Each structure stands twice: as C-alpha cells, then as structure tokens.
C-alpha cells in the first residue's frame, strides 16, 4: 500500500514539473512575429493608413537588436556602449529614408504588446506613422534584472530612394552625420551642424524613437 502511495505522489510530482516547464516555454513563445505584424496592420487599417510589408532584412536587424539586449541584459534604444537603433539597420545593409523603433519587455502575449504600444502616445505615433512602408520584428529570450523574460523589437522603415536632386556623396555623408548625432535630420540642419545643408533635401532622413515600454519582470521558474 505504501509503495502505491509513493508511486502516486511521485507521478504527480513529475507531471507538475513537466507541465510547469511546458507552461514556461509557452509563455516565452507566445509572442509571434506574424501576429504582431497583423495587429499593427489592423490598427493602421482602422486609421486609413497603408499596410506595412514584412521585410526579411528589417526583421534580421530587429532580431540582432533583441538578441543584443537579451545577451547583455539591457533594455533601451541605446546600448551600453552607445549604439543607436540605426546601427542594426546598417549592419544588415538596410538603407532607409524614414526609420523608427518600438521596444517591449515582460509581456506574455502578442495582443498585450500591441495594446500597450497603442496606449502609449510615442509608440502609437510610430505604429501609425504614414511614411513607413516596411516592418520587421525581432524576439529574443534572456534575463533582465535577474529574471527570465522576453525582449521584443519592432523596426519600421521606408527604403531609401535615389534622388537626382542630391548628390550620392552628400546624401551618404548627411545620413552618416545624422546617425552619429541620433537626431532628426531637420533638427540637425536647424542647429547648423551640417556644412552641406544647402544640398540636403528636407526630411531626407527621419528617426523616431517610440520609447522603451516594459512591465515589472514576470517571474518564471
């Protein structure tokens, strides 16, 4: 009788461990790229904005940024060594005219992430930016402040289009300078920081930071 009771208790214990492990994996896997893209496009459609197309290079850039945060344990648009979001665009060779970034941390469902972004004015402005035409989502598991969590990076952009009005060398130099300062091109021009401002088209480059949106860490076993 005692043997059967022991086996029964052991079976319950093993089942609970397996179920707990399964649930923790499900929590980390429940934020899905395609679902976030669909939800973003649904919100844009409600606001009469064009649909965003998933771009593989943009998704790769977002994945690299998410993995960098997960590996190094930070949550910010700017890395500990000063890398701005646009570094990851450059790393995958994505040239853009407009670009933006949204971040999320400690959410368990795609719908929760989208809802939080839409309830935040800065993130919502990125989601509903009329200039964007492409999107990329990056997701990575890691630790933040000692707790297991999931990092979400959402990159928006419109690809750079060659313009006859601006020389390629001047345009490249303008983009590099604007990326270095991490500010809107128009603001840089107004500050008189670019010596070739007369040759630069207005709004040749725009950077939009939606802010870092996170919740208190979700404790996972």
- Within 8 A by CB and 6+ apart from 114, the residues are 36, 39, 40, 43
pLDDT score recorded for residue 74: 94
What are 212's two structure tokens?
A: 């870092």
CA separation for the pair 31, 139 (Å, rounded):
8
* Contact (Cβ atoms closer than 8 angstroms) between residue 210 and residue 125: yes
3-class SS of residue 78: coil
Give SS3 for 159: strand
Per-residue pLDDT of the chain (221 residues; tens, 9 = 90+): 556 544 444 444 443 433 333 334 444 446 888 999 999 999 999 999 999 999 999 999 999 999 999 999 999 999 999 999 999 999 999 999 899 999 999 888 999 999 999 999 989 999 999 999 999 999 999 999 999 999 999 999 999 875 434 444 444 554 554 444 443 333 333 333 333 333 333 333 445 666 655 554 433 33
Whose CA is closest to 186, among 165, 207, 162?
Answer: 207
Neighbour-count burial for 175-201, b at 16+ CB within 10 Å, e otherwise: bebbbeeebebeebbeeeebeebeebe
pTM value?
Answer: 0.69
Runs of H (alpha helix) within 30-109: 33-46, 56-72, 86-91
CA angle (145, 146, 148) in 5-degree steps: 100
What confidence score (pLDDT) does residue 108 get?
Answer: 85
Going from the C-alpha of 65 to that of each of 58, 87, 189, the distances in angstroms are 11, 9, 28
Under 8 Å between Cβ of 209 and 85? yes
How many helical (H) and strand (E) elements, i.e. helices and strands, does the chain have? 8, 5
List the beta strands (DSSP E) in the chain: 53-54, 96-105, 134-144, 147-159, 206-214
**What integer pLDDT is reported at residue 22 of this predicted model?**
35
How far is residue 121's CA from residue 101's CA, in Å, rounded to a whole number?
Answer: 14
């Amino acid at each position: 009788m005692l043997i059967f009771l022991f086996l029964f208790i052991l079976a319950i214990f093993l089942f609970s461990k397996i179920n707990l492990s399964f649930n923790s994996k499900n929590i980390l896997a429940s934020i899905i790229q395609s679902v976030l893209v669909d939800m973003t496009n649904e919100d844009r459609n409600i606001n009469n904005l064009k649909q965003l197309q998933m771009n593989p290079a943009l998704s790769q850039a977002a994945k690299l940024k998410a993995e960098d945060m997960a590996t190094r344990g930070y949550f910010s648009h700017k890395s500990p060594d000063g890398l701005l979001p646009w570094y990851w665009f450059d790393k995958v060779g994505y040239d853009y005219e407009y670009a933006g970034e949204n971040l999320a941390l400690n959410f368990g469902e795609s719908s929760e992430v989208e809802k939080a972004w839409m309830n935040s004015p800065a993130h919502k402005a990125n989601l509903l930016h009329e200039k964007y035409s492409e999107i990329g989502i990056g997701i990575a598991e890691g630790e933040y402040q000692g707790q297991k969590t999931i990092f979400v990076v959402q990159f928006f952009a419109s690809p750079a289009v060659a313009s006859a009005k601006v020389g390629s060398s001047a345009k490249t130099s303008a983009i590099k300078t604007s990326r270095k300062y991490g500010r809107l091109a128009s603001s840089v021009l107004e500050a008189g920081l670019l010596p070739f401002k007369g040759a630069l088209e207005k709004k040749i480059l725009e950077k939009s930071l939606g802010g870092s949106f996170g919740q208190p860490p979700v404790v996972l076993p």
